[in-house]
Chains A and B, each alone.
Chain A
């Protein structure tokens, strides 16, 4: 059973703070993704990674960076949090095989005040 976990369910940060969101998967998946979910906008891809130390920009990378030092862990970093980054953040992982399914974590509700 695939398990994707995220470091926090709820997080409150102040404007300008550096924020780390962590995601861990236990299925040895090569691919990992970070999305943000906002009402009426669906899930938008921020960054993704196909392998350790590899990263690629998604559709809305501005204001974010990522780190993947180990295969099972993918971190999203908000260098200087802003109020417009208040959102639900979802991590996902998948294996580049025939199944294609992305497995999501429970999400982190981030509020920036």
Chain B
């Protein structure tokens, strides 16, 4: 089955700096890669996703890149702000959103 590895497990950045979280997946049949953000005590929420026919997608300060050959994808957050502090989960799916396999999560701390 699919396996998703995520790193780093924790990441501390200074406010205004960029943050990058990387994930690798094992099954080349995976075709959908979402990122979820979970603030402390709250439920995970989708922040951005990318499909296998796209190499990069941006939404304001966040972007995701996908390298299908290497089977890895990354989340980039620019100009980080304290409200970006949260746990971020990457995931992969072979069924366009159904049966997601999640990474272990990255705790992002933005220091002001």
Contacts and interface: CB of A to CB of B under 8 A. Distances in A.
B1 A59 contact: yes
Contacts of A44: 102
Interface string A97-112: 0011110111100000
Contact of A100 (B43, B96, B101): B96
Interface of chain A, main secondary structure: loop
A96 B1 CA distance: 21
A90 B49 contact: no
Contact of B44 (A41, A50, A59, A104): A104
A47 B42 CA distance: 22
A94 B95 CA distance: 12
Interface in A24-67: 31, 35, 40-45, 48, 50, 58-59
Interface residues on B, range: 20 to 34
Contacts of B44: 43, 90, 104
Contacts of B97: 94, 96, 99-102
Contacts of B103: 42
Interface of B: 1, 6, 9, 32, 34, 42-46, 49, 89, 93, 96-105
Interface of A: 4, 31, 35, 40-45, 48, 50, 58-59, 90, 94, 96, 99-102, 104-107
